[in-house]
C-alpha cells in the first residue's frame, strides 16, 4: 500500500513508561473525535460495522483512522482489504496502511507473521500491548479515529477505554434477547468507566429474501430500540441483514465502498449522519 518507510532516526532503545505516556498524549492530541465501537457479545457484526463506518466517514470527506485492538480475533485488516505487515520506523512508530484518499488502517493482524497462530495473552500483558499499540501509531491529524474494541467487558475494552482519553462509545447489538442482556452490561460498563455513549446501533435486522422479497426476522426485531429507550441511550438506527455485507467483508471490499449496497448502505448512511451529528 501507500505507507512509506520513515526516514526518522531513533535510538532503538525501549521506550520508558513516561516516554510512552508522552507518545500517547501526542498521538491523541491530533485526533478530533475518538469513537470506540463496542459490543457486549461477539459476532454481532461489530468489526464489520466499524469498517463500514470508517469507510463512510472517509467518503464523506473526513480524514479517518481505523484501529483494531482485538488481540485474539483481529479482523479489520482483512475486512478493509489491507494486506502485508505494517511498516515500523526505527524509533518504533507504526505507520498505518492507507486505503484511498482519507482512510488509514492499523490492525493487530498486520503485526502477526503467522495469522493462524493463537496468541495466548494473559491479562496484564494485554493491557501493556494495547496501551503501546495505541501510543505508537503515527496517525498524524485525523477528524475521526474509529477503534474496533474486543467484545465484552473485560481487560481489553477496559484498557482501550482507559488509554484513549476523551473517547466516546458506539455500541453494536443484534435484536435478540441473548445479545441484549450483554448490551445492558456494556452500557453499565461505559457508565462505570465514565465513557460517554454516542448511541446504540442495531445490526442484523430484517432480511429480505432475494427470491420472493419476504422479510424474515433472523435474530428477532426491535430489541435494540427497546433496550436503548429502556436504558436511556440514544438509538442510532437498524441495519438490515444482507449476506452481501458478510461476503464483502470476507473479500476485503467493504460494502460501503462498493457504491452498490442497496438498503444496507442507505441505512448505514443514516446511522453515520446520526453519529456525526452527535459529536
Least distance (Å) between residue 80 CB and a second copy? 12
For the window 143-182, what string marks contact with a second copy as x by the rule CB under 8 A? -------xxxxxx--x---------------x-xxxx-xx
Least distance (Å) between residue 155 CB and a second copy? 6
Q: Return the residue of 19, 29, 61, 73 that touches a second copy, per CB under 8 A.
A: 73
Measured in residues, the chain has a length of 279
**Is residue 186 within the footprint of a second copy (CB under 8 A)?**
yes
From 2-10, 23-31, 93-101, 188-196, give the range in contact with a second copy by CB under 8 A.
188-196
**Would you state the cell numbers that stand for residue 82, as one nine-digit string?**
489491507
**Is residue 49 within the footprint of a second copy (CB under 8 A)?**
no
Question: Using CB under 8 A, which residues numbered 77 to 106 contact a second copy?
Answer: 78-79
Q: Return the residue of 25, 250, 266, 270 that touches a second copy, per CB under 8 A.
A: 250
From 56-64, 121-129, 135-143, 264-272, give the range in contact with a second copy by CB under 8 A.
121-129
**Where does this chain bind a second copy (CB under 8 A)?**
40-44, 47-48, 71-73, 75, 78-79, 115-124, 126, 150-155, 158, 174, 176-179, 181-182, 184-189, 192-193, 207, 209-212, 214, 216-220, 241, 243, 246-247, 249-250
Amino acid at each position: 500500500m501507500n505507507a512509506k518507510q520513515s526516514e526518522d532516526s531513533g535510538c532503538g532503545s525501549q521506550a520508558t513508561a513516561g516516554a510512552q505516556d508522552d507518545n500517547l498524549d501526542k498521538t491523541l492530541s491530533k485526533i478530533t473525535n475518538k469513537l470506540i465501537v463496542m459490543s457486549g457479545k461477539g459476532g454481532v457484526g461489530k468489526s464489520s460495522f466499524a469498517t463500514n463506518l470508517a469507510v463512510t466517514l472517509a467518503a464523506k470527506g473526513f480524514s479517518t483512522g481505523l484501529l483494531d485492538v482485538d488481540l485474539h480475533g483481529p479482523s479489520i485488516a482483512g475486512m478493509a482489504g489491507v494486506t502485508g505487515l505494517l511498516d515500523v520506523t526505527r524509533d518504533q512508530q507504526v505507520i498505518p496502511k492507507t486505503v484511498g484518499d482519507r482512510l488509514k488502517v492499523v490492525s493487530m493482524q498486520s503485526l502477526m507473521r503467522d495469522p493462524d497462530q493463537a496468541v495466548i495473552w494473559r491479562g496484564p500483558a494485554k493491557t501493556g500491548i494495547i496501551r503501546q499499540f495505541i501510543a505508537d501509531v503515527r496517525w498524524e491529524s485525523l477528524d475521526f479515529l474509529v477503534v474496533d474494541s474486543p467484545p465484552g467487558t473485560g481487560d481489553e475494552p477496559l484498557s482501550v477505554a482507559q488509554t484513549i482519553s476523551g473517547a466516546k462509545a458506539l455500541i453494536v447489538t443484534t435484536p435478540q434477547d441473548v445479545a441484549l442482556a450483554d448490551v445492558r452490561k456494556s452500557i453499565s460498563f461505559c457508565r462505570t468507566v465514565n465513557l460517554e455513549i454516542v448511541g446504540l446501533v442495531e445490526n442484523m435486522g430484517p432480511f429480505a429474501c432475494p427470491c420472493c422479497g419476504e422479510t424474515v426476522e433472523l435474530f428477532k426485531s426491535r430489541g435494540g430500540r427497546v433496550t436503548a429507550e429502556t436504558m436511556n441511550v440514544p438509538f442510532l438506527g437498524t441495519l438490515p441483514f444482507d449476506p452481501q455485507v458478510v461476503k464483502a467483508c470476507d473479500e476485503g471490499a467493504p460494502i460501503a465502498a462498493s457504491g452498490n449496497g442497496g438498503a444496507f448502505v442507505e441505512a448505514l448512511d443514516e446511522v453515520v449522519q446520526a453519529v456525526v451529528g452527535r459529536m
